Structure 1
Amino acid sequence: MCDHHHLRSPAPVGIVDHVSSLSENFAELVETEDYADITFIVDGARFRSHKVILAARSEFFRALLYGGMKESQPGTTEIELQDTPSVAFSALLKYIYTGRMNLVEIQEENLLDILSLSHRFGFVELESSISDYLKAILNIRNVCHIYDLANIYSLTSLCNVCKDYMDRHAQEVLTCDSFLSLSQTSMRDLIARDSFCAPEIEIFRAVSNWAEHNKGQDPTPILEVVRLQLMGMHELLHVVRDTGLVSSDAILDAIRIQTESRDMDLKYRGYQVLEENIATTRLGASVIRGEMKTALLDGDTQNYDLDRGFTRHPIDDNSGHGIVIKLGKPYIINTVKLLLWDKDMRSYSYYIEVSMDDKDYERVIDHTGYLCRSWQKLHFPARVVRYVKVVGTHNTVNRVFHLVSFECFFTTRLFHLDRGLVVPTENVATDKNSALVIEGVSRTRNALINGNTHNYDWDSGYTCHQLGSGAICIQLAQPYVLSTMRLLLWDCDDRSYNFYIEVSTDQQKWVLVVDRRQESCKSWQTFAFDPLPVTFIRIVGTHNTANEVFHCVHFESPADTSVGSLINSVATVSVTSGPPNSPRPAQAQQGPAYPLITVDRGPSLSRSSSSSTSSRSESHQSVATATRVHFPQYYGPPPPPPSAQQQQQPLLPQPPPPQGLPSLHLGHYAGHMLQQQDVPEADRMDIH
């Protein structure tokens, strides 16, 4: 008896697992044929089996043996299976009884037969396991056979792996003998791919050989996807025409397309490398135009400054030549990543064009009307390219365009474009995505967009501006088409705010997308509007029930909807214990007030009076009915303005005021004014 089952990890105490013994006992039934009640005749060989075991393991055999077919009639003891290899059936029969098969010990031709039988008899798990094994052993000799079989049985995953393999070894596949055995459908699907990259004349010769080898099949559907317009005149007239496979009209049409069409309109083939930057010197890429060429493709995105680490070109005297990168060979790309020089607040405008011959260029990215900064991740419909040109058209500081890093690749990740701009599905207003808060006041520049929605209190964790003066403004790294936003208003007490939000692409023309000037808003706010190109977002507070400063803890766009409809703007809030600005009731001074609030929709407004923020969470629970919540509210009138002596005293840091107003570390809460001269210079962040 085999002892390999002793290597299994022991089952937990209380669990009996003797599956190995069961498998071995069933294997003995195959060998001894004890109690067999049906015989299969396969390719002249006889296999005695047990109906009930076969029916339990396969829907095919259940229907065959017990489904009312003639093979299931009483007295039937033998069944002949047509078009079934005996070696493959024998291996499959053992698998049916034992659930085991050693694929390594089986010859490839038999393995393909077993794959065929597993598909025919409905053994899905075995079919999947064999497919995975075949993916691991692909080579030039077997890939065509495996690809053809995968096509026949619609094994999509295996089929795609085979096509990717043949794409990488196209010229070798074309000369392999097994290429001639491909079915017409498999052949057509293969060479129709842009990524099956080989000289077109070699593809035509391979199709011609296939037609000679398969005289009973019509090569016309295959010839339809051969790209005659990519062949030279001599090849068309002296190779293609001589075979007689292509009509003279088709050859003339190809010549007309060559002479009348733009080069970039020709349907080129290119190499496709998934999720890998192909603009590297290792893969033969080089910078052929631009100043300080060596820096662009060195992969260093950290060590650059005013004097080194970038490639550049003059904006005014460049005549559109820009910075040109030549790839090692034609590649299919749909994504470009750039790092614009970003050691200060400058922004750039630019466009990107691609070409196959460095003469006819086609524009794929046009950001000439936008202000962009730092990392750019750009998508466009897949194109076959050999040359990529980046041309700067504007720099907000000087007349030179600086490019620190360039990458291009093909991504399989889904992306959506609107008006040539990316429509993001994840928040792009983050410092990790190179967004920047360019106006507003906070202890740290990007507190608003660092993703921290938990750690904020009276003194830190928010960005603010004085009502009636300035705003909070965010610059995205590049233009996006946005239609949703979400923000968190400072909510450590029961104050409410009024505000509006505008967006722009140039900081000159602003479009109002959110107007809450007539609505009292608290905590989380979610907004939707018609999709618009956006580079700048300006949040302007117009009212605060507690003081003269607008505070925002977090901003994101597009809005994160993963928590469902629970996070929305609060529609109405009514406080039954009295209006926020009414005098505090005498009994309330004895202890904390517990106002009764009703929230039509939106997050829970529950807050602790403690300044600790460890218990805050975005996963709010909806408040469907009246709920008792403790708010450390401010009921009295604003405190009087500070005296001149008080104004001269340092205001940072200071404890939370007893009335419940937040400690404005960027100004003094007592007078509701935001005086930045009172802020230590190290703590200021006011970018004009």
Structure 2
Amino acid sequence: MANEEQPPKNMMTTTDSCKIYEDMSGFYRKEVFSDVNLILCDKTIPAHKIVLAIGCKYFESILIENPKQSEIILEDVPSKAFEAVLLYIYTGSVLVEMSYGDDLFDVIQLARKYSLKSLEDTLYEKTVSIMCPSNICLFLNKSNELQMDELKQICLLFIDSNLSKILGTNLLNVLTQKSMVQLLERDCFPAHETEIFEIAASWCGSNTDVNNLVSGCVKLTKLTIDELFNVVWPSKIIESERLLNALVSIRNNSTNTAHLINKNIAVAAYNAKVISGIKTLKLLEGTENEDEGARHDQNDVNGITLDLGLNRSFNHVKLKMLGIFYSSYYLETSFNQRKWYKLIDYSQYACSYEQNLYFDGVQQARYIRAVFSKLIPLGKFEVSFDSTVPEVHNHIIYPSSNVIYSETKIFMWEGRCDKFPLVLVLDQPYMISYMKVMLRFYKHVERIETSVDYRNWQTVESLTTETPKKSSRRQTFRFKERIVNVIKIMGDISSNKTSSNFKEFLADFRCYYVRNDGK
């Protein structure tokens, strides 16, 4: 009805539409025909035995035991919550303030006490529907207090899914110690150990950590020695003996795993296995056969995923792509398969053959996945901690030696042999600032261009229109550093010089990075 009064926006309602409720609703809190008083701590409410007995088994059992009693004393029952329950008994509707959830859980608790299962289930669903970062900690505390295990698990999953919105705030500081321990002690909690420590440290700064249960959730041995000294130790929330034991354990672990340096740990001997992808049987041992190469469906965001068996340290990943085609891709890592971190993003680059991926620092993860933009067979997936690594910035290698080698793909652009559009495809993007080229069978070279995607090209240097002398066939190009994936050489060649092996056109081609200072 248009003129019917609507509940406030911060209130929620639920209604059980039954004819008997329509008949009873007019007697709610009315003294007409009242035959029993409900005694609360701060008020007395007139009620009707027949309505109480029909609507609530709890009151039915009390009235059957003593049908003549005129008063029912309700001790330690919050008045506001009880009035909401009584309204439900009379009308099938309930009106509960839901801004922060205190009243809501008081009503849930009474619904459980009075065996009002339908009311409890309805309020449970409403609780889930109004979860948000500002109330989720209260809901988790209440679910523990009321031993609502299913709701507790939903609260934990909500925090996991919305952790990015919660980290950096003080919202988690209102959790009880029990709730905080439940949150942090799970192996599936999608946070790096440094983030777990920051959460624990913030909570300990606002609460008393009895028996160090919250700080004890931090797995110190998953942190680096630098993090222990520069982050954990200044906080003073970890006792010195435990901190010292963690340092000793990390040192001993480094000694015990020294034999893994420069070795591929993505093998069955170290309990690694492939857990997603297609035709992955030969991936860890390696194959050169395209038909045996691993791949994944284009819509599968899990791509090809490795489980290293436990959290491993590494600084090098090698992917061996099979076939003549190229693809862009990205790599992600995870500790628990719930939250993934972007490790390498080559989604803008045309990559092929062997990918040697190094990182600015030591990486740690249990799971690594490669997701390709095309259906490219992968012959091998290696992970290692190398004792020496090339210069790397933002996941791009600055090569100090030539990246053109015998396996480099070379072809003629659009088959135009008259203008000599010779194309060299690097396996992966490199930062390049120096080229040295020596060509056979040519009359004139117009220019050299570079690209990362076959679409956008940059000129390296414009050459003279005069035919070079034989003694000057070797050309050197020094230019401002740029990311290079594909190189195209344009020019004229002798009309009688043709070959299906385009590598014959190159007498020598060197391509690498030289600093501006020449070093």
TM bucket by the smaller chain? Answer: 0.3 to 0.5
Return the structure number with greater helix share. Answer: 2
Q: Which has the higher contact order (CA 8 A, sep 6+)?
A: 2
TM-score, structure 2 length as denominator? 0.47
TM-score, structure 1 length as denominator? 0.36
Return the structure number with greater strand share. Answer: 2
